[in-house]
Amino acid sequence: MSEAGIAGRVAFVTGASSGLGARFARVLAAAGARIVLAARREDRLDALAAELRGEGVETLSVTLDVSSHTSIQEAAAKAEKTLGPIDILVNNAGISRQARIEDVTEQDYDELMGTNLKGAFFMAQAAARQMMAHRVEGRIVNIASIAGLRPLGQLATYSMSKAAMVQMTKSMAREWGHHGINTNAICPGYIATEISEDFVETEAGRRLLASLPRRRLGEPRDLDGLLLLLCAGEPARFINGAVIAADDGYLSF
């Protein structure tokens, strides 16, 4: 599966400076893709780019603020000019703000929606335009969340942004499918990342762990197989508009 329509293709990963984004980039690189690393933190991007190049992976790093339409256009154009048209987009960049609804500020709302929703929408648009122009049978994978399928406490705006991403995924699949572009979404459950490390040591974190089916967080590698499938060529040909929860059964309870 790892090389079925992935090897040699240009994979653009947003939010690639750390966490799941960095993992996704490494997984696609191991499958033979040429990688575009995109994020705001240049130092981390450069370190990961150097790591991948050291393994023989053709890699480009681009500074990207997904909340800026201009930044998206510049990053997509640089990727196309340097490596060729985007074949695979992993729309991973996102932020979260925990607050009661009555305490959400306009600035917090705008920043979260600008990153999680506006950014994902216009990044997908930029990638799809390249795919259409070059007649690429592309793959777009939007990284949503179980919060887009079930609202989570004190995460109203985050849940709203991910629920909108779910509908965005389905709309893109419907409109772009006849161009050979497949758009799908992964909805991760609770995954161990830099952000969650400290939280699970708190009382609230321990309560969360106790509520999970296996009493543990998932690991980034638990998403590898699903990512590779949705980014693949022929194996994923008929998977379009799918919204898949990878949550170890959490939503079943």
**pLDDT tops 60 at residue 1:** no
Q: What percentage of the chain reaches a pLDDT higher than 90?
A: 84
Tell me whether residue 158 is one of the annotated catalytic residues: yes
- Banded pLDDT at 21 (limits 50, 70, 90): very high
- Banded pLDDT at 30 (limits 50, 70, 90): very high
Q: Which long-range contacts (CB under 8 A, 24 or more apart) does 79-82 make?
A: 79/10, 79/12, 79/36, 80/130
Helical residues (DSSP H) of 1-146, grouped into ranges:
19-30, 42-54, 69-83, 106-113, 119-133
**Which residue's entry shows tokens 């992993």?**
90
Pick the catalytic residue: 109, 158, 190, 250? 158
- Mean pLDDT taken over the chain: 94
Q: What is the pLDDT of residue 169?
A: 98
Q: What is the pLDDT of residue 2?
A: 43
What stretch of H or E contains 235?
Answer: none
- Nearest C-alpha neighbor of 61 from the set 30, 22, 97: 22
Q: What mean pLDDT do residues 98-126 have?
A: 96
Overall pTM surpassing 0.75 (yes/no): yes
Is the CATH number 3.30.56.10 carried by domain 10-187+227-246? no
- Banded pLDDT at 195 (limits 50, 70, 90): low
123-176 residue pLDDT tens: 999 999 999 999 999 999 999 999 999 998 889 999 999 999 999 999 999 999
